[in-house]
Amino acid sequence: MAAIMFTVMLALLLLGFPMMVPLIAGATIGFMMTFGGFGQMETLIQQLVAGIRPASLIAVPMFILAADIMTRGHSAERLINMVMAFIGHIKGGLAVSTAASCTLFGAVSGSTQATVVAVGSPLRPRMLKAGYKDSFTLALIINSSDIAFLIPPSIGMIVYGVISETSIAELFIAGIGPGLMILLMFSIYCVVYAHIKNVPTEEKASWRERARAVREALWPLGFPVIIVGGIYGGIFSPTEAAAVCVLYAFILEFIVFRSLKSRDIWAIAKSTGLITAVVFILVGVGNSFSWIISFAQIPDAVLGAVGINEAGPVGVLIAICVAFFIACMFVDPIVVILVLTPIFMPAVAATGLDPVLVGILITLQVAIGSATPPFGCDIFTAIAIFKRPYIEVIRGTPPFVFMLVLAAALLIMFPQIALGLRDLMFN
């Protein structure tokens, strides 16, 4: 049964169907073969509806809406100006500013693609003018945006938390350490690159200019305070934090900054609705798919056949990293989380691994895969936004992919990088 399901899904995927179609086909075939026809199709529908029922999923459209408002407004620009005011003058400072701005906007939006658009659009011309190669610039923007998968809020973490029944609040807090570690690694590489290539520096900002930049960025910096501070302080849940972020984004861009007008509301709502619809269809169908493969005990059979159950905790973590990394090179990250997470959860439970650590590693792998050839989704976002050929976009990615893989290895060897802050806040 498993072979037929996955063969049909792969064939439909290769024929160019959107991922929801192979998932629906796979789930339908699984139900038919398990229950001998269409007699139990109502169970499929029940599982589909159950997949989108968890209240925590309300956070997904909320964060998407907040990101859409901020992408169209001035929040990203103000964050960029603040970072540039302090480190733009050092060797490699512009590149470091780009990575830091992606991290900050990721902490605001939770979306890698929104980060590519919001940060990449204004900073790429500045980096090219400063003397950076376009291949390096594009690779830096794409891979730095993937830090948004780790820094809360992260839509990938929300989906994983729902599927695996793991605390989303703990996942959010645990993602901060790895995200900052990756930012540090990227920053060191940027400085080394700038020295080797002898890239000129920007003019040093005065302390008055820095003070003004900080003052202008205080409003956007309220987003991570709301999310992390609110959750840690017990003021509200991740779902409530998402709703507060939407209200805050609306107040900022429509009232305080006045960057958006009432006529923009329809376009924002339409964009958010379309993205949310796709995500929720995937989540619902993914839940049906996960239920049928679990009911048929396919995960146990697959893991037993490849010997994962006997591999021990480190072996399971390495297997998870490899599987998610390869899958996200070809398929949308949310889909990969929906399909693969149920397969590996029995092994996670059997080896006693912390599901929060597993979630952070999975989130990191989907981040890496999103920026890795051949079909990483952020690559095609960059192609669409910057109008550059595929080869040019991927040419500079290998050093960044290496650093991201190194980060995954460090997390496996030193799990406290992720769990230390979680343990401090929740234990």
Among the ranges given (23-27, 42-46, 243-247, 382-386), the one the predictor scored with the smallest mean pLDDT: 382-386
Provide the number of structural domains found in the chain: 1
Compute the distance between CA of residue 48 and CA of residue 285 in angstroms, rounded to an integer.
Answer: 5
| pLDDT category of residue 309 using cuts at 50, 70 and 90 | low
Compute the distance between CA of residue 109 and CA of residue 190 in angstroms, rounded to an integer.
Answer: 24
Contact yes or no for 201/91 (Cβ under 8 A): yes
pTM of the model: 0.81
Asked whether residue 300 carries a pLDDT value surpassing 80, the answer given is no
* Within a domain: 74: yes
The alpha carbons of the chain give a radius of gyration, in whole angstroms, of: 22
Top-ranked range on mean pLDDT: pick from 58-72, 257-271, 310-324: 257-271
* Within a domain: 353: yes
Query: What is the rounded average pLDDT of the residues 290-314?
Result: 72
* Within a domain: 169: yes
CB within 8 A of 58, min separation 6: which ones? 239, 242, 243
Asked whether residue 232 carries a pLDDT value surpassing 90, the answer given is no
**Between residues 149 and 210, which one has the greater pLDDT?**
210
| pLDDT category of residue 354 using cuts at 50, 70 and 90 | very high
What the block records as the tokens of 87 is: 């480190």
CB within 8 A of 185, min separation 6: which ones? 403, 406, 407
* Within a domain: 103: yes
Cα distances from 270 to residues 32, 68, 259, 264, in angstroms, run: 36, 10, 19, 10
Compute the distance between CA of residue 116 and CA of residue 281 in angstroms, rounded to an integer.
Answer: 24
Compute the distance between CA of residue 347 and CA of residue 316 in angstroms, rounded to an integer.
Answer: 7
Identify the pLDDT of residue 10. Answer: 77
Contact yes or no for 376/332 (Cβ under 8 A): no
Identify the pLDDT of residue 305. Answer: 63
Compute the distance between CA of residue 344 and CA of residue 316 in angstroms, rounded to an integer.
Answer: 8
Compute the distance between CA of residue 321 and CA of residue 302 in angstroms, rounded to an integer.
Answer: 16
Asked whether residue 11 carries a pLDDT value surpassing 70, the answer given is yes
Identify the pLDDT of residue 187. Answer: 93
* Within a domain: 5: no
Contact yes or no for 135/390 (Cβ under 8 A): no
> Secondary structure of the chain: what % helix, strand, coil (to 5)?
80, 0, 20
Torsion from C-alpha of 383, 139, 10, 114, nearest 10 degrees: -60
Among the ranges given (6-10, 99-103, 124-128), the one the predictor scored with the smallest mean pLDDT: 6-10
Cα distances from 318 to residues 12, 136, 311, 334, in angstroms, run: 29, 29, 10, 20
Domain that holds residue 140: 19-426
Compute the distance between CA of residue 63 and CA of residue 242 in angstroms, rounded to an integer.
Answer: 6
What the block records as the tokens of 3 is: 């072979």
* Within a domain: 8: no
| pLDDT category of residue 310 using cuts at 50, 70 and 90 | low
Identify the pLDDT of residue 165. Answer: 87
Look-up of token digits 């090219």: 128
pLDDT digits (tens, 9 = 90+) for 375-406: 667 777 777 778 888 788 888 889 998 999 99
CA 300 remoteness from chain centre:
28
* Within a domain: 379: yes
Omega before 18 cis (within 30°)? Answer: no
* Within a domain: 167: yes
Compute the distance between CA of residue 318 and CA of residue 332 in angstroms, rounded to an integer.
Answer: 21
Identify the pLDDT of residue 307. Answer: 64
Identify the pLDDT of residue 177. Answer: 93
Helix 155-164 × helix 264-295 angle, to 10°:
30
**Between residues 95 and 18, which one has the greater pLDDT?**
95
Average pLDDT, the chain: 84
Buried/exposed code over 41-53 (b: 16+ C-beta within 10 A; e: otherwise) = eebbeebbeebbe
Asked whether residue 192 carries a pLDDT value surpassing 90, the answer given is yes
Among the ranges given (86-95, 212-221, 324-333), the one the predictor scored with the smallest mean pLDDT: 324-333
| pLDDT category of residue 356 using cuts at 50, 70 and 90 | very high
Identify the pLDDT of residue 299. Answer: 66
